[in-house]
Structure 1
Amino acid sequence: MTVHGRRVEVAEIMGTAISVHLIGEVDAGAFDTAVAACFDELRTVDRVFSPYRDDSDILRIARGELAMADASPWVAEVARGCPQAEAETGGLFSAMWSGVFDPTGYVKGWSIERAARAHLAPLLENRGAVAVGVNAGGDMQLFTAVGADWAWNVAIADPADRSRVLATVRVRDGAVATSGLAERGSHIIDPRSGRAARDVASATVVADSLVRADVWATAAVVAGFADLRWISRAARTTGMVIDASGRVRRWLDGVEVTATVAGPSLLSAS
C-alpha cells in the first residue's frame, strides 16, 4: 500500500498540536513508522525538558536533585547550543537570565528540527515522495525532494485577526518560526531586564533551520519593534515583525525591505 497525494498525521505534544505533512506517494508502513518515531522522540523530549512536569530532568536540575552530567544527553546538547544562541543574538536570547538554566525558549525549535531531520527527511529517499514537513503550533521544518517541482506556501497571519493573511512565503527546504504576544500573551522575558517583552505582537522568521528561526523570532520580540539593528547579525534569515497597532517591518538577509502599516494593500496581488 502507498500513500497518494497528501497525508497528515496530528498529535498533541508539548501542549500544542504537532502535524506531519507528506506530499507524494510513499509506502504507508514506512510513513507510519517515521511519524510514530518522530512523535515518540518529541514525547521523550517533553519528559526531559518540560517546565510543567515535576519529574522532568530540567526541573530536577533546577532543584538540585540531578546533576547535568547524570541527566539525559540531550540536556548537555541543549546546554551547548544555548550559549551559542546567546552570543549570536548579542544577549537578546538567554537560557540563564534568571540565574537558573531554563532552555524553554530553545528546546521547541531544537527538538522539532532534530526529530524531523532524523525521522521525516529520510522519507524523501523513497521514489514518489515529493515533500515532507512538520508544523508545531506554527513553527515548521520543511523539506522538498531534490528535483521536485514543489514549494511550501506558508501563510503569515495578522496577530490581531488570525483569519487574515498578511503575507505568504514560499519555502522549499527551510524553517519558519513565529513568536510574540498574540497566542500566549506576555510570556517572553527580556534577559537584559528580567521584564516581559510587550512591544511586538508577532515576529516571524524564515531560516535554514528551525532552531535558528525560533531563536531569532524570540530575539525579535525581545528587541522590540523600533530596533532592527540585530538583523545584520541574523545572517541568512528573512522575516517580519508586527506591533500592536498593526505596523509591519520586514527584512531580507540583514537588510530592511519595507516599513508600512498592515492593511488591504498587503493582500493584493501584482
Structure 2
Amino acid sequence: MTTFPGSARVEMVMGMPVSVDIRTALPAREMTPLLDDAFSWLRWVEDTFSPVKEDSQIGRLNRGQTIRQIPELIEVLHRCDELSEATGGWFESRINGVIDPSGYIKGWALERLSRALCNAGAGDHRITAGGDIRMRGSAAPGKRWRVGIRDPRTDLVRKVVFAHDLGIATSGATPIVDPRTGEVQKGLGSVTVIGPDLGVADAYSTAIYAMGPILAKRFAADLAEEGPYQTMIITRDGQEISTPGFAGYSGTEARLAG
C-alpha cells in the first residue's frame, strides 16, 4: 500500500502518552519544529489548566490567588459553563467550589492543535491522547483514518470508525463523578461520542457516562437528532447501543477482534 512519508512522535504529557502522527510530506526542516511546537502547546495547556499543579492558573484560581488574564482561560471556563447548561448540569467543571475542566480541556487542546497543524500545511494528521483522537486528511493517499473502539471489559475491538475529518472521545477508562452526588458513576462500561469538535465530544462523552444507563440512552438519542454528534454506549454487561448516524462512520470491518 502506498503511504505518506510524514513523521510521528510520542511524548508523555498530561500524565499519558500523546501521539502526533503527521502524514503530510514536509521537509525535515519544517517537520521537526512543527512537532516541537505541537508538544510545547500541549505542555502549556497542562501547566495552565491542570487542577493538581499548584502554580497552574486553575490551581491558583481554586486557592483564590491572582491569575493572569489569559484569553484561553476565559474561553475554556465560558465554554464549560455553556456545556454544563447544554447537558443539564451533567457536565460540570465546578464541583463543591473546585474548578476542574478536565472533562473538556484535553479534547479542546487536541482540537486547537489539529487546526494549527492544518494552518501550518500539515493537513493529514492524527493526534491521540488517551480516549481522545482527532484526525484530519488521509492516513495514506485516498485512505481514511481508521480507529478501533474497544470493549472496556475484553479490550476487543467492537467497532471500527473510518473518517477523513472527525473527533472521537471515549470516556470510562478513568473514574467519572456524578456531579449531583459526588460519587463515582459505575453504571456504564464506556461512552464514545464522535463529531466535528473534539472538545465538545469530550464533554458530551463525560456527561453521558455520568448520567448512568437510562438517562444516557435518552440524551444520546436527543443529541443525535439535534446535530452532528453521534454516540456509542457499551454497557457493563457488554450491550452496544449506537445512535443511527454512528453507522455512517463504520464499514464492513466494524467487528474485528483484537
TM beyond 0.5: yes
Q: Which moved more, 1:233-242 or 1:7-16?
A: 233-242
Counting matched residue pairs gives 244
Cα shift at 1:268 = 6.6
Instruction: Give the C-alpha shift of residue 41 in structure 1.
Output: 0.8
Structure 1 SS opposite 2:160: strand
Match of 2:84?
A: 86
Q: Which digits, 9 at most, give the CA deviation of each residue in 1:171-227, with x for residues without a partner?
A: 1111001101xx33xx21112222221111111111111111101110120122233
2:231 is the alignment partner of 1:239: yes
CA gap 1:24/1:111 in 2 versus in 1, 3 angstroms: closer
Query: What pairs with 1:161-240 in structure 2 (closer than 5 Å)?
Result: 161-162=154-155, 164-180=156-172, 183-184=173-174, 187-227=175-215, 228-231=217-220, 232-234=222-224, 235-240=227-232
Cα distance change of structure 1 residues 56 and 268 upon mapping to structure 2, 3 Å threshold: closer
Aligned CA RMSD, in angstroms, stands at: 2.4
1:4 CA displacement: 5.0
SS of 2:233's partner is strand
SS, match of residue 188 in structure 1? coil
1:24-103 alignment runs, 5 A limit: 24-67=24-67, 70-103=68-101
Is the partner of 1:242 in helix, strand or coil?
A: strand
Q: CA deviation at 1:239?
A: 2.3
Whose strand fraction is larger, Structure 1's or Structure 2's?
1
Q: What are the Cα deviations for residues 214-269 of structure 1, in whole angstroms up to 9, with x where unaligned?
A: 0111012012223311121352112211122111111135xx98xxxxxxx97379
> Structure 1: how far apart are the matches of 2:187 and 2:238?
11
Per-residue deviation at 1:71? 4.4
Instruction: Give ranges in structure 1 of 5+ residues lacking alignment.
Output: 258-264
**Greater length-normalized contact order (CA 8 Å, ≥ 6 residues apart):** 2
Q: Given the two structures, how large is their TM-score scaled by the length of structure 1?
A: 0.82
Give the match for residue 262 of structure 1.
none
Q: What's the counterpart of residue 137 of structure 2?
A: 144
Mind listing any 5+ residue stretches in structure 2 that lack a counterpart?
A: 248-252
Please show how residues 119-158 of structure 1 align to structure 2 within 5 Å: 120-123=117-120, 125=121, 131-144=124-137, 149-158=142-151
1:5 is aligned with what amino acid?
Answer: P
Corresponding letter in the other structure for 2:176? I
Q: What do residues 143-171 of structure 1 show as CA deviations (whole Å, max 9, x unaligned)? A: 116xx623111100110122x11110111
SS at the partner of 2:94? coil
